[in-house]
Structure 1
Amino acid sequence: MGMMKQIFNSLMFKLFLAIFLIIGPLIIVHIINNYYANEVIRNQVAQSNKNMLNIYMDQIDKSLEGVGNYIFQLSANTDLYFLQYHENFDLNDYEEAKIRLFNSINNQSYFYTAIDSIFLYSSSYKDFFNTKKNDVNFSERMNATEEIHALLENKSENLIEGKWNLWKGKKNYYLLYYLNIDGVYVGAWVNMNNLIKPFKYIDFGETGRAMLATSELHPITNKDFIEDEKIDLTVKGNKFAIVGEKERFVAMKERSTVGDFYFLALIPESEILDKLPFLQRISSIISIGAVLFLFLFIFIMRKVFLQPINQIVSAMKKLRQGNMEIRVPMKRNSTEFEVMNGTFNHMISEIRDLKINVYEEKLNLQRAELKHLQLQINPHFFLNSLNIIYNLATVKEFTIIQEMSKCLANYFRFMFSSNSYFVSLEDELKHTENYLKIQQLRFPDSINFNIESPSELIKCNIPPLVIQTIAENSIKHAFHMDEPINIHITVKKDCEDSSFMEIIIQDTGEGFPEEVLRSLEIDDPLTTQKGERIGLWNVKRRLNLLYDGITSIHFSNEHGKGATVRIRLPI
């Protein structure tokens, strides 16, 4: 008896009963109406999707024609002459021509997204090379490359030159286009599965499909689906046909003008809906009935559903404002809301008890992360410095060895003694100067630097290793042996707000690459598998943790000065 009462009092039962009483009559009316609507909607949907198929097939054909035109233009490239065998050719001429051709087709491949690869094959040198798309599976690309290589090598009679050939590989169907220029094959191919990918997002219903088929209407894609549904793709007529045994589909097709394949659409007949004149004649009756049912529905929902929810929402708003004493009144209500209100009240009590522990744990995690970021040391710098000392000892440059050893000792003394989150600006600048002196000893006459700072700021505290890390980044990415690099470090008071200082680090290198500047602007971690450029992200992360957003760091390229980093810190 108690269980039955709980079920009848549950929110699910009340909602089900209310919806059934309100929607039930409307469902009966619409079932009768839909019986008359099937044929009308079938024709309308078929015509609409037939037009859509024409548009998409035209897009595919134009894309393939564009690739074919490019292959034809490429066949006139004079570098192809060097891929043919001639006894008087220098091998260097062949390699240079090969590089130029590869760069040409690789750059052009980005404009033809419909294809998988553009290739060149020299039958004289047995040399096959092609472009690659990053989104194509490696094993799939290698299988296609090997099979196409074998086709060209064996000169398959089934392939027609200057035409998009539908070719069945070991695992997939492909479209292949090629031209033969005196033993040098120039062409392109596309996996049919990739050709259909852009059309998978077209809404053909839950079980509908867009697919490709051969000129004999054998399925190229969705083979398992066609077999499971027992669908005959032999669509008779130009408009549409009804196919399928398990589920009925409206099928339409469109043939490609440049390749021997069809583009088909299968739309579930069960999902086709439309409005018929009969619906228009009874729409007024349905509208009046819907209004009456709506008022009844609103009244029931307000009593059973909305009022209890509003109580919980009101309590949540007060909780968000910091009122930890708020409680939801325990009134007689639906079983679900009684459980929800009790759980909510218990949750508030738990939150109040756990709040302090959560804050303390968060602070501990931030301290641990900050310490980890602060103590990162580049092992390559240490090993390279020891290697230089060894080489200097070999040539008996004892004076330079003494200076290098002294600088290294000061460098690592600072690194291992920086246990606090802040050091004085004076210590940080001395450490940076010491690091740059080490680099000068490593690369004589190649690195110049100057550091400017007003005396009233040198006792101010800043995070350790901020300036040195950015200077190190300039050495790592802007320095090369062809010409010397100049690094300028300037510290001054901020012009707009005297309670802030501005630290400017500039070098005379080539500046930051555009992709790096974009990543720094959106705060994207600059890390690779080798850990490259981790220092810049390290600096940004530490500043965020220590100053909680009141500081700023800006990266830019200034004309004639190279990379520039501006850091704004409170004094």
Structure 2
Amino acid sequence: MLKIPVNSLRKTIFARLLIMFFILILPIIVFGIYLYNWTYQNTSQEISKNTVVQLTSYLGNLNREIEWIEIQQFDILQETELRKIAYTWDMMDNIERKDSVNYIIHRLTSIKNTNIYIKDISIHLPSIDKTISVMNAAQDFNKLEYEKIRTSKSQTGLRLIQTEDTLSLSASIIGNDLQEHPQIVVHIELDKQKMSEDLNTLNMYPNSSTFLVSDDKELLLESGEKTSNAFNIYYHTMRSKENNDNVTFFEDKRFHINSAYSKDLKLSVVTFIPEDIVKLPLKKFSRWAWGFAITSLVVIILYSYLIYRMVHKPLVLLVDGFRRMEDGELNNPIEHEQEDEFGFLYNRYNIMLYKLRRLIEQDYKQKLMMQKAELKQLQSQINPHFLYNSFFILNSLAKTEDTERMEQFTSMLGEYFKFITRNEEEHVTLSEEMKHARMYTEIQQLRFSRRIKVQFDELPEEMEHIKVPKLIVQPIIENAFEHSLEKKVDEGLLWVHFKKEHHTIYIVVEDNGDGISTSKIEDMRSLLNEARDYQEQTGMTNIHRRILLTYGANSGLYLSRSETNGLKVEIRINLEEDDSNV
């Protein structure tokens, strides 16, 4: 699993080296993509250009063929024999009729044989109820076909007329009385199969298709594969435009659409070319591009792996070592076999760890010796005044022959001096410390039972087994008696109580003495906060220092004015800093 030695992955040297490598290789990749797209665009434009030229040439040839056929139509209309048949049929005998009809059929046949696009030529003569054609000679008037031609011609106005599945040209002569219906209609049916074969010559690419459409969106001719579907997509996605070049999707494939338009014919010829054909010249380049892309990916992976093994992993190992050092683990040197720059750093780290461990051990021993010295200083500071008063109380009890209280008093004195002079342990349980403090208050109450009231709350059970430095409570109670309560005229009050909040316990000693001013409290607070090793140690500063040395920051003595206008001393012990004392 990838370990991140900093808070954010993007801030790591590993990430920066990868980003730098990407920055160096990215222009090459971008250039390759640009070159591929540029080649593709040029190839596509070249194919489109050539295709449009072919389409335009096809429309030009088709227009010339249509014009030739239209000229032949008008020549037929000018034939004397045709007019003779149309206007003097009733005055002609059978031989004349036969000769004239045969002449017209021969004329139509010769025209048909000169152009491959002509399938049949018909002449409709409604005045004599006859239709003459190459395929059927003379026959009864084909009124249905005549009406279709006349209706389509009047509705579309196009030169090419599409009726059902036929494609044709027509020309007519209206009578001298300008009647609405033509008297002579020359109808030339075009051979759609021949025209489609000619149109199919434009499909020079596999799977391409070409179709011919009119301005009224009618499909006239088609060739190639799936042309009808392509025609529907063409009119749903775009409009017919001259020299149009577009790309569209059709059946999950991309097709290039090219078209050309003839204003004379009012027709468009459209071709669909698969994009695969357009990209065919790029296949070799595409293989090179894929080879380059795969090679680049392999290089990136290999580079990332080497950077991870040679830089990131050794760096993480060094950072983990420093983090263990921060957590206080000084017995775990970095084990390695490297002889490079990281090996040098590892060796210097291990040397630094060894020296730091030695310095900490020396400092710890010095602090331990200092705590012992301070504890001995406290033990040696037996208040002569307290000792004198104790003997005075003992003398008074002897005079009154109160042997029971005398026995109790001497037992308490013995326990008191035994506790303060015991040197085996520097830390005791809080219950033992409070037992000693309570015993001291009971001794003092024998002196001040009428003037001083002591309220000593019960120690919570959850706090009984907490280890604390020895003699941190009794000296504070002694200070309250000596400096606040002893000289008080009216009733004095000493209150010892406890509380716990989260990981901090509070031992609170309050009195109602009125002999201390606010400025004096501030001075005492400043003396505690600014205590140094070289300063003369008082009882309170001694206790404050020992608690700080044991429990660290957020622990110690905190002074303030009590609600009873005396001094309030809070002994705070933060167990979160040192759980080993619990």
Q: TM-score range by the shorter chain?
A: 0.3 to 0.5
The TM-score with structure 2 as length reference comes to: 0.36
The TM-score with structure 1 as length reference comes to: 0.37
Structure of greater relative contact order (alpha carbons < 8 Å, 6+ residues apart)? 1
Larger Rg: 2
